[in-house]
Structure 1
Amino acid sequence: MHFQYGSITNPFAETSTGTVVLTLQHASFWRFGDNFFFVDLMEDGVGDGFNDKDAYGEWYSNLSLRKLGGRDLGFGPFADFGIFAGVAFGADANVLQWLPGARIAWNLPGFVFLNTDFMMAVDGTDGLDGGSPPERDSRFGIDINGLFPFDLGSQSFSITGHAEYFVATTDELGNDVPASILAQPQLRWDIGAENGLFVGIEYQYWSNKLGTEVSESVVQALGVWQF
């Protein structure tokens, strides 16, 4: 469970407002791979139709080729390879995307995990006819995600998060949707029982946020309860 607070940008009004984000996040392994999902609940206290008790979530199920084949496929810096299926949804915006892709899992010193994911973002809505934003053409994206723990003296810290890039595309009205970058690294300090309670910060950089030409750069206070 994550708690975050920071001045989040509404790219349509080009304003920034103090926003609370509560995140339920889950990661687990299964016989042939792993699952990951999160759901963000957002409230900014401003009745402008943006982040007004909104919800956004993503789910990914990855199939490990190492586990599927029953043999070690790793060599050099490569730990494993996988194929995955993902879905992303936004409640207020009525957005739905399918995210099929392939994964490289890296074997690098110090990292608990480090993945590079290659995917297609496929619009799953009916666009304007279905009450959603204009339907977008499919576009390619790449996401790097990982966890790197370290100690300073007797204190335990970690850097975790992800950074993604999606190429430009067009929508059903013929409008250009610019390429975007979203990076959300977190610095965490383990303050309780090991791997239980963390405080820290999350830095969010988002270029061309939500298909606009507005970019965001914000530091958010972070609290994490892991159970």
Structure 2
Amino acid sequence: MKKGAMGKYWAAAALVASAAGSMSAHAADWADNSIGYRYGTRFAEPFNSQDITKNIVNFTHASGYKYGTNFLNVDLLMSDNKDDNAQEAYIVYRHTLDIGKISGKDLSFGPARGVGFTLGFDWNTKNDNSYASKKRMLVVGPTLMMDVPGFLNVSLLALFESNQPKGITSRYSYDTHPMLNLAWGIPFGSTGLAFEGYMNYIASKGKNEFGGPTSPELNFDGQIMYDVGNTIGMGKNTFRVGLEYQYWRNKFGNPNYVPGSLAKTPMIRAEYHF
């Protein structure tokens, strides 16, 4: 994608985020905010063969209004000295419009309760001494909302991604490529337990910024969470703890022969909702 086109996409993303935030603030049917913490000792980074310890603090906002939903997650990741004691910020925003609600028609069919359209972006910056990622990515595409307890969204998204890591003098745009995304939050009845997470299958994005090949990547991140707050009188879904596991093959599109391109990372996780 040319630089001018990328600027137009970012202007559109900023406009949608601003409008969605305004609608959420003034006409939200529901909203949930949380501050979370997770910790693991077996994180992986491409071209690094060592297990990396990371402490991660996050803020998450989810809300729904008459015509759709908003999701925002901000991760602050802090690595140990095996990853240069690096600090990273990673932001994900998604806005899903419910086409049935907009049109006033019932679009449910088979296992799907509705059809949507998702637009959003990823943004990151990291201050390690090697790659020092500066990722910018716009996502857009259709979404099926499945008829399950809680939610399960299945999206097919086009990714418009660029980066300008250390040693690259100008921003590099990868080939536009598709991603199959699943995002879910499934409660286990009234037990206080829930299975939550996401899975991304991302096609190859062509040559990387150094002229090398990229490979399709698979990123599964799931957690079993327990509602501790409800059992100690803090209120339902106020304080939750659990175990999380991430499996990430060909991380960031790096082929499997690259050290650190495969992550198998167990974590502990805690969240306070307000």
Q: Helix, strand or coil for the counterpart of 1:67? A: helix
Structure 2 Cα separation of the partners of residues 126 and 207 of structure 1: 23
State the TM-score, normalizing by the size of structure 2.
0.75
Moved over 4 A (4+): 124-127
**1:53-104 Cα shifts (integer Å, max 9, x gaps):** 2101110111110111122211331111111111001112111011111100
Going from structure 1 to structure 2, the CA distance change for 1:190 and 1:61 (only over 3 Å counts) comes to same
Structure 1 Cα separation of the partners of residues 220 and 236 of structure 2: 27
Runs (5+) with no aligned partner, structure 1:
none
Counterpart of 2:177, as a letter, is: R
Q: Report whether the alignment pairs 1:59 with 2:93.
A: yes
Structure 2 Cα separation of the partners of residues 35 and 150 of structure 1: 24
Task: Tell me the residue number matched to 1:204.
Answer: 246
Structure 1 Cα separation of the partners of residues 182 and 216 of structure 2: 17
Match of residue 148, structure 1, among 186, 192, 198: 186
Is the 8 Å Cα contact of residues 207 and 216 (structure 1) preserved in structure 2? Answer: yes
Q: Helix, strand or coil for the counterpart of 2:102? A: helix
Task: Tell me the residue number matched to 2:264.
Answer: 217
Q: Report whether the alignment pairs 1:14 with 2:49.
A: yes
Task: Tell me the residue number matched to 2:227.
Answer: 190
Task: Tell me the residue number matched to 2:79.
Answer: 44
Structure 1 Cα separation of the partners of residues 150 and 267 of structure 2: 24
C-alpha RMSD over aligned residues:
1.9
Runs (5+) with no aligned partner, structure 2:
1-34, 127-132, 230-234
- Kindly state the Cα deviation for residue 137 of structure 1 after the two structures are TM-superposed: 1.0
Q: Report whether the alignment pairs 1:114 with 2:152.
A: yes
Structure 2 Cα separation of the partners of residues 126 and 89 of structure 1: 12
Going by fraction, where is helix more abundant, 1 or 2? 2
Task: Tell me the residue number matched to 2:273.
Answer: 226
% identical equivalent positions: 24
Task: Tell me the residue number matched to 2:12.
Answer: none
State the TM-score, normalizing by the size of structure 1.
0.90
Q: Report whether the alignment pairs 1:95 with 2:132.
A: no
Number of corresponding residues: 220
Task: Tell me the residue number matched to 1:68.
Answer: 102
